[in-house]
Every structure is written in structure tokens, then in C-alpha cells.
Structure 1
């Protein structure tokens, strides 16, 4: 069998500086926008502008969380964290998702309910809102373009569609910026529509409805980001294409009679742990087994830069306990194909 390198995992560590730049651009844009929206909300008395102020404050706080995530996850492994701090990025990104919900969605919902239940009032100087919304649209658009440039570039490197990359990426920082800024642009349009309808009709109902729509939008984004980061925090396996390619490479080794079990865990962005149980050729001496295990593990790390740690365990392929554990985890069909050194890949793998 030929060893197929998974294109989704050819690079290692690229994009870290670009992720930081993307977050810094978003931080600067959101901070300026939050101040401008706050002033406009006070001057005009618009509930939609108040909701958008909360939206931008939440986004600004989130960028701080994401910068913390980038800095913390880059720390090297130590005694307390022998596999490094890669998952810290997912933790802080999860906190950012919670911030969107609490700071943005709940406050926007409060403003919407307040506008709907209180006496209607006239907007003061609505032109201020329009100017601020227009400037904010330009700034948010610039930040979004930066995030899209990075994520589209990474999607091409992974040979994935942009939509699939957003769903499966192991780097939550740039994707969070893309979701935040996309939501921000939609929120600006909602705020503008609510302000315009309030101005034309004199009814604050439209202002309140716009605020509630912004709250719903932020809640959906928060749930989407929260689910993504929860998945990464709970020990998800590596990209199935990488798993398939590692399986093929291990099966190609001359000392390997069968791959009995293969487990991978995403330790962080571009950081994968590989654990494999191998049935080695019976004729090998103990010294040859030791040298083979060292060489095979080194070969996997060299071939797949995302693989940072490799653990190999020699086991007989007919060991009942091991086979049962593999069947429970993967099912009978995949367990049998794995032992037969099948190169078809794991469920969900796609040919490149």
C-alpha cells in the first residue's frame, strides 16, 4: 500500500501570527465601534443602538479572551501539562462564546423588551445613528475581510471547502472572528432598519423588534461557537483524513503485521496525539521490536507535522480484550478492516 499524506495536516504551526493579527484588527475595530455606538445610543435614545453597543462591547471583550487563548496555548509543555497547553485556546474561545450570550444577547433582549413595554418616544438626531452605523459597517467589514482572508487561505491549505473548514477547524480564533464580524454586519443592518422605521412611523415597536432580532442573532452565534469549542475540549479525534493516512503508513511498515487499534486525540491547534496498538512480525527479536517502535514513531511524526506525540504498543491481533475494546469503540466492520490493514479510511474520511 502507498502512504497517502493527508493534505489537511501538511502544515504545522502556520497561521499563529496571522491569527493574532486577525484578532488584533478585530479588537481595534470593535473598541472604536463600541464607543461610537454608545455615544449614538445616548444621543438618540435608540434601543437598537443600545443593543448594538452591548454587541460591540461583547465583541471587544471576546477579542481579549481570544488573545489570551493564543498566548496561553503557545506555552511549552511542562511537568504539570506534559502535552502542552493547546486546549487552553478552546477554553478561552468557549468563554468568549459565553460572553457573547451574556453581555450581548441578554442585554439586547432587555433593551428590546424595554422598548416594547415602555411608552413610545421620538428619536433624537437619528442622523447620528446612521453615520455611526455606516462607519461601523466599514470597520466591521474590514475586520471581516481580514478574518476571511486567513480562513479561506487555511481552507485551501487543508483542501477543504470554506464552509466545511468553518465546521471542522481546530483553530477557533480566526473562525470566531469571522462569525462575530458576520453577525456584527447583520446586526448593523437590523439596527439601521429599526431606527429608520422608528423615525418614519414614530413607533418605538420597530426599535424594540430590531433589538430582539439582534439578541436572537447573538444567541445563535454564541450557541454555535459554544458547541464547536465544547467539541474540541472533549477529546475529539483528529481529522479523519489524517487518521486514515496514519493508519495506512503504519500498515505499510515492514515490521507491522496488522494495525490492531488506532486512537487519535486533538491536543490543540495543529497538535495531535497518536496511540496505536500493532501486531508486529513474530520473528522480530526484543531488540528489533524496540528499534522498530522508535523508527515507526519517528516516521509518523516526520510525515505528519501535526502529530506531536506517538505511543506504540505491540499486541497480538487476536487478543480478545483488545479486540472487544476496538469493536465497542468503532464497530465490528471497522475493527475488522483495521486489523486487515484496510486503507479505506475511517468513517467520514474523504479521498483527497
Structure 2
């Protein structure tokens, strides 16, 4: 994922959520609707999450240091994981608490009846524009993958996070509109409480999905199947390497891949000839997979009958 594409989607979501949060708080102040309060807190949490993603992207661009020789690319994964925690606690758990409180005191909406409906409809419109931007930026890199595959396989966390947040926001707004509308029709605050509970369950579910996916990135994921295929082809397509003994890859960040390979070569008489050929293989790998920034090739002599290299 390009950093620019992810940043554009984040900024669009941040602008939408800030505006929506203000209108929801005004609607809550006028109507005392728990669905409006839950949605207002949800928008505040989303705004904070987008700010966290922007901070993570900025910090990840710091240069490598002796203490962190592989750089800070994984900061983007750390901040995405924090986002899932914020969404779970501030968004989901608060909505569930507010639903419980409203079930205990199920008062209806007694004034400004039209305000929450208008605010929610406007919020759906604004959130739809943010969601549209996230979909457009994701489609530019998604390829033939399904949306579920894109969320699970994406190495850059920002777009999947924004996509799920925007989807959750839209569905949550529909739940809130349902709860508020039924409360206005029936006069019973239980519908408002039910809409709030539905929002809470939705946000907790999305937060769990985000936590699981970003946890996998934090633990360290290798290159995707297509990238592995291109790396292997780049290594073996020249005359320098007779076979790959074993290979490991690791994402140091969304756009930075470490490649470590032990390769079998024919015996060389001169070390400078071996070094030249290894450099040629590295150049082919970088051409085939530009994000392969750090490449470590270990040449060895492979004994076919023993099924192992001379060096082990």
C-alpha cells in the first residue's frame, strides 16, 4: 500500500468523524438519547484512532539507529493494535454500558423529536463519503482478492483499519437510526437501549477482528505467495545458483521486506567471482520485489545424496 493512499483515506475519515461527533453530541444534549451518546463517543473514538494511525505512519519513517538497526517500520503495526484497543474499550464497552444504563431507565425522547433522525441521516451521508474514499484507495491495491482476503493479507494496516471502522460506523448509524425511530414511534426507550446495545456488540466484534489481524503483523509475517514466487524465480533464473536450500522472509514494515536465503553454488576458485555473482542475484531480487530492502544470501555447496549443505 502506498503511504499516500492510506493517508488520504485516514484524513477523509478523520474529517468526517470530527464533524459527525459534534452533531451527535448536540443531538444527545437536546434529546438525551442513549443511541446518540453511544454514536457520539464512537465518532470521538474513531477520530482518535485516525490520529493514532497518522502518528504511527509518521514515526515509522524514522531512520534506523544502532539500537534499532532494522528501522521503525513496525510502529505502524503497534499503533494499529492500539486502535483496536481504543475501539474495544472507548467505543464498544462504553456503548454496552450505556445500553445497560438505558435499560435500567428506559425513558423515551420527549423533545426535539426530529433532531436525532436528521443528525443520523446526515451522518450516514458524510460517513458514506469517507467509506467511498477508503474503498477507492483499497481497490487500487486489492487486485483480485476478496474484501475478507484483503483485510487478512494486507501488510499495511491503515486501509483495513479505516475500512472496518467506516463499515462499523455506517452499520452503527443504521442501528442507531433504528433504535431512535422505533422509540419515536412507540414512545418506549427500550428500543433506544436495544439500538445502543447493537452498536456496542458491533464495535466489540470489529475491535476483536482488528486486534487479531494486527497481532499477526506484530508477531512478524513473511512475504506473500506471489512475492515468494518472484524472489525464487529471480534467484534461480541466472547461472549463479543451482538451487535454493532454504529461504525465509520477514516484513520489517509494510513496505520493507527482509530476505534471508541459503543457496547452492558450484565451487569457485576466486572469492571475488563469487561476490560478483551474489551481487548479481541480489540485484535481480530487488528488481523483482522492490520492497526487498535487506537481502542476506549465504552461498553453500549442496550434496544431493546427503540432502544437506556442506555448511549445515
User: TM (normalized to structure 1)?
Assistant: 0.83
1:292 aligns with 2:294: no
1:280 aligns with 2:270: no
Q: What is the CA deviation profile of residues 17-63 of structure 1, one whole-angstrom value per residue up to 9, with x for unaligned ones?
A: 22212111111110111111111112111111111111101101001
The answer to whether the Cα contact below 8 Å between 1:46 and 1:123 also exists between their aligned partners in 2 is no
Tell me the equivalent position of 1:93.
80
| Structure 1 residue 136 corresponds to structure 2 residue 123 | yes
Q: What TM-score do the two structures reach when normalised by structure 2?
A: 0.93
Q: Name the counterpart of 1:347.
A: none
Q: CA deviation at 1:183?
A: 0.8
Greater RCO (Cα-Cα under 8 Å, separation 6 or more): 1
1:131-151 superposed Cα distances (whole Å, 9 cap, x missing partner): 111111111111111111000
Kept in 2: contact 1:259–1:279 (CA 8 A): yes
- CA shift in 2, pair 1:220/1:321, >3 Å: farther
Report the counterpart of residue 34 of structure 2 in structure 1.
47
- Structure 2 match to 1:27: 14
* Aligned length, in residue pairs: 309
* Aligned equivalent of 1:170, options 129, 152, 155: 155
Using the TM superposition, give the Cα deviation of residue 286 of structure 1 relative to its aligned residue in structure 2, in angstroms.
Answer: 2.3
Q: Deviations over 1:245-280 (max 9, x none)?
A: 211221223121220010000111121110000111
Q: CA deviation at 1:99?
A: 0.6
Residues 197-231 of structure 1: per-residue CA shift (max 9 Å, x gap): 11111211111111111001001111111111111
- 1:116 corresponding residue in structure 2: 103
Alignment of 1:254-269 (within 5 A): 254-269=239-254
Q: 1:77: how far off?
A: 2.3
- 1:283 positional shift: 4.3
> 1:216 and 2:207 equivalent?
no
The equivalent of 1:106 in structure 2 is 93
Q: Does 1:197 align with 2:182?
A: yes
**Could you tell me whether the CA contact under 8 Å between 1:30 and 1:140 is conserved in 2?**
yes
The CA deviation at 1:284 is 4.8
Partners of 1:144 and 1:178 within 8 A in 2: yes
Q: Report if aligned partners of 1:194, 1:210 keep a CA contact under 8 Å in 2.
A: yes
Q: Does structure 2 conserve the Cα–Cα contact (< 8 Å) formed by 1:45 and 1:124?
A: no
Equivalent residue, structure 2, for 1:342: none
CA contact (8 A) 1:152 1:162 kept: no
Write out aligned runs for 1:224-235 (5 A). Answer: 224-235=209-220
**Structure 1 residues 322 and 89: CA distance shift in structure 2, 3 A:** farther
Structure 2 segments unaligned to the other structure (5+ residues): none
The answer on whether the counterparts of 1:123 and 1:198 sit within 8 Å (CA) in structure 2 is no
C-alpha contact (below 8 Å) 2:99/2:194 kept by paired residues: yes
Let me know the Cα RMSD of the aligned residues. Answer: 1.9
Structure 1, gaps ≥5 residues long = 1-13, 327-352
Aligned counterparts of 2:96 and 2:303: Cα–Cα separation in 1: 60
Residue 37 (str. 1) matches residue 7 (str. 2): no
Give SS of 2:155's match. coil
- For 1:256 and 1:57, locate their aligned partners in 2 and report how far apart those are by CA, in whole Å: 56
Q: Within the alignment, does 1:207 sit opposite 2:192 as a pair?
A: yes
Is the contact made by 1:126 and 1:195 (CA closer than 8 Å) also made in structure 2?
A: no
The answer to which of 56-65 and 66-75 deviates more is 66-75
- In the superposition, relative to structure 1, how do residues 141 and 122 fare at CA in structure 2: closer, same or farther (>3 Å)? closer
